A and B are shown apart, each in its own frame.
Chain A
Amino acid sequence: RKEVEQDPGPFNVPEGATVAFNCTYSNSASQSFFWYRQDCRKEPKLLMSVYSSGNEDGRFTAQLNRASQYISLLIRDSKLSDSATYLCVSGGFKTIFGAGTRLFVKA
């Protein structure tokens, strides 16, 4: 089992839609989690951190469920510019990246 697992997608959604991604992690001792965004042929950039019970930043909401060992990312009112790959990350002594979920937002 991979340490951090994500549905690779792609998710194809129209502008204005709400889309949710899930990610599961295997190390129950992991303390912190992040969502990074990676555009095509670019470097990953932090989208948001996920601590304790979750985090919200504008149209983006991240939730952490420790009992089930998964985190989620909800994007409301999708924009064309949200098209990217979203990487789920487990922080700690060794940072573990998921393989990413691809999102395409279409007009």
Chain B
Amino acid sequence: DTAVSQTPKYLVTQMGNDKSIKCEQNLGHDTMYWYKQDSKKFLKIMFSYNNKELIINETVPNRFSPKSPDKAHLNLHINSLELGDSAVYFCASSQGPVASSTDTQYFGPGTRLTVL
């Protein structure tokens, strides 16, 4: 059983398109995250949700809109895709509230987005 799953694994699309990435965790965790890992392998937090509520929203363009229909799911919709959006997007989850600094984060396998 996959603990944190993401779909799709690969996404190749044209500039200007709108796309969504889905994430699900079956660990019963309260907190979920989206990270972006760019070509320099730097992993940066974008958003985090605790029990469907947005907790962290980093300086991400508003073309990126997360949605959490329930605490087991956190989807990421991206409008008007740009070349610079090409990266690997990782979903993650952790047990407690995001303010808890001791929780391990469990990552999904990543979605490799290529914008042409």
Contacts and interface: CB of A to CB of B under 8 A. Distances in A.
Given A43-B90, A43-B110, A87 B43 contact: yes
Contacts of A34: 104
Interface in A26-79: 30-32, 34, 42-46, 49, 51
A64 to B, nearest CB: 13
A43 B105 contact: no
A99 B40 contact: yes
B66 interface: no
Contacts, number: 49
A97 interface: yes
A44 B56 contact: no
Q: Is the interface of B mostly helix, strand, loop or mixed?
A: loop
Given A43-B90, A43-B110, A44-B90, A95 B105 contact: yes
Contact residue range for chain B? Answer: 20 to 34
Nearest to B99: A93
A93 B101 contact: yes
Contacts of A95: 33, 45, 105
A21 B101 CA distance: 22
B104 A94 contact: no
Interface of B: 33, 35, 40-45, 56, 58, 90, 98-99, 101-110
17 contacts: A30-B101, A34-B104, A42-B109, A43-B108, A43-B110, A44-B90, A44-B107, A49-B102, A51-B102, A85-B41, A91-B103, A92-B99, A93-B56, A93-B99, A94-B45, A95-B105, A96-B45
Given A91-B101, A93-B56, A100-B41, 17 more contacts: A30-B101, A32-B101, A32-B102, A34-B104, A43-B108, A44-B43, A46-B104, A46-B105, A49-B102, A85-B41, A91-B102, A93-B101, A95-B45, A95-B105, A96-B45, A97-B42, A97-B44
Among all A-B residue pairs, the 10 with the closest Cβ atoms:
A43-B107, A91-B101, A97-B43, A32-B101, A92-B101, A31-B101, A46-B104, A99-B42, A32-B102, A93-B99
